Structure 1
């Protein structure tokens, strides 16, 4: 029964995000990226896991560009592998892969621990646990790490359930930055 509600919630959040106007997206993206920059500066994070955004996700590309110019910051992104992903250094060119997700070339750089993970969400439940696209890739990735970085969830429009919809393995936010 729980998964039925979780999938309904996921669908309604995606629908809300898809119908956000381009002007509103542009405006919200700028505000959220500015807040993320401030957070990164305050936290002193050096190794940062970001993502290459899909259309309904916060566009963090300006943040990636900005962080790459900084000497003391390393930017990593997911590289899909099996039922999860590994992290690779963000490099151009990007290639469109499974689910329409863009990725850099596979690299064998094994980074030091990621200090901060900025993660896109479709929605969050009452426990601030992530409702994603339903593939479980982020959940599996973080479950396999032997440490826990600070996790920030991003979303253009907060889509939060007042009910607990998550499963025990769903990842939980330390912070949620939205507009």
Structure 2
């Protein structure tokens, strides 16, 4: 695999995502959240790894609030070294590395998650994740000793017809786009 193709695809996908108007982002996010709720219910997920969305990502904040009210256990990434650990979602959120908002670090026993919702920049021909290029999600899932249900979300489907992924890039059970 030529990494230039992967980085070129990443750049063009980010441009497509930036082109999506705020109204479209709102309506697409709303539709995607409804589909996520259906999958969470279908899978019977109780412990769920979500993410605090960046501007180019699906706004899942309403889902986070709804799941917490339903007494589901909601976790988000907390960046640590070359990957992240899961922490309970709670306020306040602090803007940290790469402009990502995170709750404060919390020390908790490792929890087995049932389902993970993962933002993507795009997918390749094998439906493997192309992210922002830091590899944090790939390292996180590689280090897990089990495989939860993985759901990719994206406002606009950015899919390459070429195989751009490496063998360690993660693959989803579901891909939901607007």
Q: TM-score, normalised by structure 2?
A: 0.98
1:1-179 correspondence runs (5 A): 2-71=2-71, 73-179=72-178
Give the Å deviation of 1:97. 0.1
Following TM superposition, the consecutive aligned residue runs of length 4 or more in structure 1 with deviations greater than 4 angstroms are none
SS of alignment partner, residue 20 of structure 2:
coil
Question: Structure 1: which 5+ residue stretches go unaligned?
Answer: none
Question: Could you give the per-residue CA deviations for residues 121-156 of structure 1, whole angstroms, max 9, x where no partner exists?
Answer: 000001110000000000000111101111000000
Give the Å deviation of 1:111. 4.1
Q: Distance in 2 between matches of 1:7 and 1:31?
A: 29
SS of alignment partner, residue 76 of structure 1:
strand
SS of alignment partner, residue 79 of structure 2:
strand
Q: Distance in 2 between matches of 1:174 and 1:36?
A: 12
Give the Å deviation of 1:110. 2.2
Give the Å deviation of 1:2. 1.6
Question: Structure 2: which 5+ residue stretches go unaligned?
Answer: none
Q: Distance in 1 between matches of 2:31 and 2:41?
A: 16
State the number of aligned residues. 178
Q: Distance in 2 between matches of 1:69 and 1:144?
A: 30
Q: Distance in 2 between matches of 1:25 and 1:154?
A: 12
Q: Distance in 2 between matches of 1:168 and 1:139?
A: 10
Q: Distance in 2 between matches of 1:95 and 1:150?
A: 28
Question: Could you give the per-residue CA deviations for residues 54-87 of structure 1, whole angstroms, max 9, x where no partner exists?
Answer: 000000100000000012x100000000000000
Question: Could you give the per-residue CA deviations for residues 14-71 of structure 1, whole angstroms, max 9, x where no partner exists?
Answer: 0000010111111100000011011111111000000000000000100000000012
